[in-house]
Amino acid sequence: MTKHETDEETGIDTTGHEWDGIKELNNPLPRWWLWCLYLTIIWGVGYMIAYPAWPMISGATKGVLGYSTRGEVAAEIDRFEAQNADLRASLTEIDLGVLKDNPDLQRFAYANGAAVFRTNCSQCHGSGAAGALGYPNLLDDDWLWGGAIQDIALSIDHGIRNETDADAHWSQMPAYGEVLSSDEIDNAVQYVMQLAGSDFDVEMANAGAVIFDEQCSACHGADGKGDRDVGAPNLTDAIWLYGSDIAAVTETVTNARFGVMPAWGQRLTRSDINAVAAYVHGLGGGE
């Protein structure tokens, strides 16, 4: 049984609750405060009915409004897609050579291309497009198959040495281990070192020059500067896809290399290909 009494010090009634001699003064809350509490309860019940609330065994109750955060994201994506529909249509049809004359479209292509690149290209070429051993660096000024924006788009569209696309860039360096003796290969490698401006053995290189002229110059050119029609790399520059030391070059000559890239035209839309081509072209190496 609770016992109300009046506190002498303050003149305020107690609630009658007592714990070890400690009593509680009754300073009543305003009644509207209680109404607010009831309102929040009613609101809470309504909210549970309207929105997803109760966890069940598989998922939660859906709520009569059918709201979901995923649905909201999907709606937002649709809204942006609709907003960008015109830009996307222009990007599908544009001649890439004149993209730079349309700054708004170029900005859209860069942003869109960056996303496409991160999703599809970064696995091999790296998130910063710096490539890796065997996967070309897209930031520099050396291009196997051409660095104009249309060339880049073509490489992306059809891929490299890719049998699923008849228009893919195709070339095959012979594995000279089956053609030349290892001495001949060593000599040829010394000549490549000379072309590249590295340290080399003069005698071996002179002998190698003859072999190079016979075996290699058809693709890499008499001056060793390569040929983009067949994706033959320039051997006189500082950029080496598979390494520039003697061992790496010897390995390349002996067993050849065969870098493959998928034909992205089979997976991406024309506008995405144009976008990612514009993005790669704008990374610093574009011609």
Partner 1 sequence: MSENQPLYAPQVPIFPRRVTGYFRTLKWWIMAVTLGIYYITPWVRWDRGPALPDQAVLVDLAGRRFYFLWIEIWPHEFYFVAGLLIMAGLGLFLFTSALGRVWCGYACPQTVWTDLFILVERWIEGDRNKRVRLWNADWTLHKWRLRLTKWIVWLLISIATGGAWVFYFTDAPTLLRDLISFDAHAAAYGTIAALTATTFIFGGFMREQVCIYMCPWPRIQGAMMDDDTLTVGYREWRGEPRAKKRLEDTGDCIDCMACVNVCPMGIDIRDGQQMECITCALCIDACDDIMDKIGKPRGLIDYLALSDEPQERAGQAPKPVLKHILRPRTILYTALWSLIGFGLVFALFIRAEIDLTVAAVRNPTFITLSDGSIRNTYILRLRNKHGEPREFRLSLSSDEILRIDVEGAQTHIVTVAPDSSTQQRVYVTARPQDAAAQQDHTDLRFWVEDVISGERAFRDSSFDGKDTK
Q: Is 13 one of the binding residues for partner 1 (CB under 8 A)?
A: yes
| 287 Cβ neighbours under 8 A, 6+ residues apart | 141, 143, 146, 147, 148, 151
> Residue 204 CB, nearest distance to partner 1 (Å)?
24
| 128 Cβ neighbours under 8 A, 6+ residues apart | 139
Stretch that binds partner 1, among 5-13, 70-78, 153-161, 182-190 (CB under 8 A): 5-13
Number of residues located near partner 1, criterion CB under 8 A: 29
Say how many C-beta atoms besides its own lie within 10 A of residue 228's C-beta: 15
Stretch that binds partner 1, among 54-62, 136-144, 157-165, 200-208 (CB under 8 A): 136-144
> Residue 64 CB, nearest distance to partner 1 (Å)?
22
> Residue 284 CB, nearest distance to partner 1 (Å)?
6
User: 144 burial class (0-12, 13-18, 19+ CB within 10 angstroms)?
Assistant: buried
Tokens (6 digits) for 238: 């500082």
Site for partner 1 in 82-101 (CB under 8 A): 100
Among 39, 179, 218, 238, binds partner 1 (CB under 8 A): 238
Tokens 């009915």 locate to: 49
Provide the b/e sequence for 53-78 (b: ≥16 CB within 10 Å).
eeeeeeeeeebeeeeeeeeeeeeeee
User: What's the gap between Cα 112 and its chain centre?
Assistant: 11
Among 187, 194, 234, 252, binds partner 1 (CB under 8 A): 234
> Residue 128 CB, nearest distance to partner 1 (Å)?
3
Q: Specify which residues 143 forms β-bridges with.
A: none
Q: Is 190 one of the binding residues for partner 1 (CB under 8 A)?
A: no
Among 23, 118, 120, 126, binds partner 1 (CB under 8 A): 126
Angle, helices 246-255/182-196, rounded to nearest 10 degrees: 130
Among 148, 237, 256, 257, binds partner 1 (CB under 8 A): 237
Tokens (6 digits) for 205: 């290189």
CA distance 87 to 81: 10
Stretch that binds partner 1, among 26-34, 57-65, 211-219, 266-274 (CB under 8 A): 26-34
Tokens (6 digits) for 196: 């590249």
User: What's the gap between Cα 285 and its chain centre?
Assistant: 18
Q: Cβ closer to partner 1: 35 or 47?
A: 35
Q: Is 70 one of the binding residues for partner 1 (CB under 8 A)?
A: no
Q: Is 32 one of the binding residues for partner 1 (CB under 8 A)?
A: yes
Q: Is 282 one of the binding residues for partner 1 (CB under 8 A)?
A: yes
Q: Is 119 one of the binding residues for partner 1 (CB under 8 A)?
A: no
The residues binding partner 1 (CB under 8 A) are 4-6, 13, 15, 26, 28-34, 100, 126-128, 130, 137, 139-142, 234, 237-239, 282, 284
